[in-house]
Structure 1
């Protein structure tokens, strides 16, 4: 410990310096006193350096600035809004939830999250502006970012007009730094899913290829969510979900989901069995007729080959041939004619003893006579899981109707379907304590989707949503067609509930309504036990609200002496959460009031950080704090004088020497 108490660094994580340090560890000889020696670095990289005049590249006007935007640090902070928050059990004004809702510009927020959430996010889902010409597009700047953000929030009615000479460039410049920062937050086995339509689908994939690497492209899902037929040329009835992993070496991609329509299929076959008994051929014929009543897009129709049934259940006759032509020449006798059945062209799939066992146990499907090659019975109950398909059929109106019912009117334009997202998150193996992030959260569908997944899977994943507080009254002035009525409905709802006409207010209200609905569903099912004999536990349906703002700590100008650096109007919790972000504590760590030798403090993360905010800090209190062996201690300048500083240094130095445990002491 030095002879001076250092000041807390009020900047967000410097990702450039972090990468330089990683390079120093890998190739220290490429560094000189002036920085990176690029000539030496080229020599060290050998043949991997492309020095040709022509090369493939994806670029646009403003790309260099977009890259720099992802590298600059932020001096902003996130202020807790306890009065707008909700407890994990649904109590308004409580602040104990593990979910986080952040009101603010997502670029600044992603920078502020770097220390606390670096490598901690399992899945990122985003539904960014599609750049149709009427979408609001963030215009980033290197000027005072918080003042600019506040201006942006008040200009949300403005759009990225197609007449702009940099129409696509503006969109690419907005997306690039945000995706770059999002990748830093992902865990090694992390996944990103990005929804998009045809307007920017190609550009989005090129950006994702650059940020994540082409080799980490996991696939594309075509979401058939519309039946509109009113466009010239080809009517677009689908959107895209582009899926990338951070590192295929850490994520094997064994993503599966339950086949759709299973309950309908099982129910139908129970009816056939009740009607036809053990007349399996009659059941087969009835099943084929039943399947043909469904459109080809139906998940029920997709399982049409499961059209047979026996005492064990529904099955389909699968290929019985093996890879070893002629290896097994034994005869399989037909159970009715007693004659040898026709052999498959590649020979039997298993040795004679195994085949005889399967025949004796009724696991082989035979034709009417021996002239037909037998088949293996593959049962639906054993194959209910399937790999994620590349085509998804889901009516896009379902989510709109659901939210209209919850609010009493249609208040969101084209919200995403929480059921679809819940199934995707589940298939991609999101588990308890995993974090799901959505930094273009809009109607907050991702939050409800995670909560519903938690209920169905009985896990406790967490969500973080970020949204610019767009002014809906500004949007109303520029809205056209049905969007004008939808926006007017939203404003009317918020006004009637005493809330400001902001998109964030509407989204938070959606989370409250959906949370109440989830609690109601659990309550109605409380008398029913799950398959393992236990009752349904209550999920976390709350959220902590934070608002992006400038730092709560004044930065003195040259020669200026500030006795109290706390800005007017900032609370103890404002300063504590700012310190937590700078030190890398997650926003959901517990912050509790504590006393040391009668002096009031705050304990963060069960005493890992102790914050001394009030005047009157005594030597006895310092002794008591040191005895608790925190890892970090924060002291407001206004709480200590020069004598207290010297005492603190001496006390904590003695504890360090005795325990060999470093205590990080900082002031603000």
Structure 2
């Protein structure tokens, strides 16, 4: 109720202090945190050596204060611009995403299952968010008039500007994720190193899941002076809390499981039994394998067998060894379909092959009969990620909405599996270049 009374967004600083007080009450005195006492309780004792590994840049402290500064803004509903206003549970919000992320804290704190963002890659011509809310109206005019500047390397704050834009937004985004929440961030080579350091600090180095590689370019780029065609982008993934399986996994291919001998244990496929260790490393896996039925000796592979003698004898007794007619052949094992683990095979870190940036351009062209967006993401790329980590009633957030591919992916996946996933999208109000197709439309 306090937020309704004072007209401010959620007090993140006080919320964090209350959390610490509930666990370490002795570290809070007169409403202030005793950081030295907190560190000592965690086994970190203060000494005079201040030289330690840390990730710093100019403006970092100001960014943290900016992220935790309470907002006086409000979200204004627009039923006249909406579809199914009374029934939809999806949100598309137009505004500066830093302010919007603050306003979402109260209603969606720790409720979002997945975040996907495709932020500016910092190529030098990207839009740079200048976060100064001293005069909200002037700021709004600046945004809507597109009176912003690019971020060339020559200005001396190339990486710093990008970090100052990303840091407070990721801080606020982390608050919205559930304990089992996952964040995906698209990026390229320019800021991949800084992004991972940033996420290590915000989400925890131990919560890093993967750095996915997506082949975004279909045709080779011959413009690079190095002679290398950079054909890929990255999708960095972190989870909110380590200790759970993040990805559902890849669907199994079970067509190879047959039952030609009517085995009562059901369909099976033959599996390799050749080992991977030398005799010096695993002498117990090196022995001659003999078929007890006819005494035929199949010898021992160079890297031995996959199972020791006791396990192999058990497999023989269970009738699970397939003996080849050719003495030079290798015996194999029957692996039954009903023995497969509930866990699906892992999702590859190289994903969405055959789907490129120009795939998305064609998708947009098919919807509008014009090419209205620069470098949109294909629906299939984001749909794969959503399908891997979300359940049918989860909330998906994208606060760099762009061409709204995330919304498209969520709705398409819902249509395919009958889900009721909801999305929250945020996009800065931008005026189109008067020469662009989007402006003409």
Tell me the TM-score range normalised by the shorter chain: 0.7 to 0.9
Cα RMSD, aligned residues only:
3.3
User: Could you give the per-residue CA deviations for residues 252-273 of structure 1, whole angstroms, max 9, x where no partner exists?
Assistant: 33531237xx6xx97xxxxxxx
1:72 aligns with 2:69: yes
1:229 aligns with 2:221: yes
Equivalences for residues 247-646 of structure 1 within 5 A: 247-249=241-243, 251-258=244-251, 311=260, 317-319=271-273, 325=284, 331-332=290-291, 339-342=296-299, 345-346=304-305, 348=307, 350-352=311-313, 354-359=315-320, 366-367=323-324, 369-376=326-333, 385-392=344-351, 393=353, 394-428=355-389, 430-473=390-433, 476=434, 488-493=436-441
Give the structure-2-normalised TM-score. 0.84
Kindly state the Cα deviation for residue 347 of structure 1 after the two structures are TM-superposed: 6.5
Kindly state the Cα deviation for residue 420 of structure 1 after the two structures are TM-superposed: 1.8
Kindly state the Cα deviation for residue 346 of structure 1 after the two structures are TM-superposed: 3.6
Kindly state the Cα deviation for residue 202 of structure 1 after the two structures are TM-superposed: 1.0
Contact 1:440 1:467 in 2 (8 A): yes
Alpha-carbon separation, structure 2, partners of 1:457 and 1:51: 59
Alpha-carbon separation, structure 2, partners of 1:175 and 1:208: 10
The alignment partner of 1:386 has SS state of coil
User: Could you give the per-residue CA deviations for residues 610-631 of structure 1, whole angstroms, max 9, x where no partner exists?
Assistant: xxxxxxxxxxxxxxxxxxxxxx
User: Residues 20 and 404 of structure 1: is their aligned pair in 2 closer, same or farther, counting only changes over 3 Å?
Assistant: same
Kindly state the Cα deviation for residue 161 of structure 1 after the two structures are TM-superposed: 2.7
User: Residues 366 and 220 of structure 1: is their aligned pair in 2 closer, same or farther, counting only changes over 3 Å?
Assistant: farther
Contact 2:248 2:344 in 1 (8 A): no
Q: Report what 1:153 is aligned to.
A: 144
Equivalences for residues 91-130 of structure 1 within 5 A: 94-130=85-121
Kindly state the Cα deviation for residue 186 of structure 1 after the two structures are TM-superposed: 0.3
Q: Report what 1:293 is aligned to.
A: none
Alpha-carbon separation, structure 2, partners of 1:315 and 1:351: 18
Q: Report what 1:598 is aligned to.
A: none
Kindly state the Cα deviation for residue 490 of structure 1 after the two structures are TM-superposed: 1.6
Kindly state the Cα deviation for residue 444 of structure 1 after the two structures are TM-superposed: 0.5
Alpha-carbon separation, structure 2, partners of 1:411 and 1:6: 40
Number of aligned residues? 419
User: Residues 80 and 365 of structure 1: is their aligned pair in 2 closer, same or farther, counting only changes over 3 Å?
Assistant: farther
Alpha-carbon separation, structure 1, partners of 2:137 and 2:184: 28
Q: Report what 1:59 is aligned to.
A: 56
Alpha-carbon separation, structure 1, partners of 2:307 and 2:79: 69
1:239 to 214, 233, 244: 233
Kindly state the Cα deviation for residue 371 of structure 1 after the two structures are TM-superposed: 2.5
1:9 to 6, 13, 20: 6
Contact 2:117 2:185 in 1 (8 A): yes
Q: Report what 1:542 is aligned to.
A: none
Contact 1:225 1:238 in 2 (8 A): yes
Give the unaligned 5+ runs of structure 2. 262-266, 277-281
Alpha-carbon separation, structure 1, partners of 2:172 and 2:7: 19
Contact 1:128 1:440 in 2 (8 A): yes
Q: Report what 2:194 is aligned to.
A: 203
Give the structure-1-normalised TM-score. 0.57
Alpha-carbon separation, structure 2, partners of 1:103 and 1:179: 18
Kindly state the Cα deviation for residue 228 of structure 1 after the two structures are TM-superposed: 2.4
Structure having the higher Rg: 1
Contact 1:320 1:376 in 2 (8 A): no
Alpha-carbon separation, structure 2, partners of 1:416 and 1:248: 28
1:220 aligns with 2:211: yes
User: Residues 347 and 239 of structure 1: is their aligned pair in 2 closer, same or farther, counting only changes over 3 Å?
Assistant: closer
Alpha-carbon separation, structure 2, partners of 1:157 and 1:378: 62
Give the unaligned 5+ runs of structure 1. 88-93, 267-305, 477-483, 494-668
User: Residues 6 and 117 of structure 1: is their aligned pair in 2 closer, same or farther, counting only changes over 3 Å?
Assistant: closer
Alpha-carbon separation, structure 2, partners of 1:462 and 1:38: 40
Q: Report what 1:589 is aligned to.
A: none
Alpha-carbon separation, structure 1, partners of 2:216 and 2:325: 43
User: Could you give the per-residue CA deviations for residues 49-74 of structure 1, whole angstroms, max 9, x where no partner exists?
Assistant: 46412111211111111111111000
Alpha-carbon separation, structure 1, partners of 2:91 and 2:3: 31
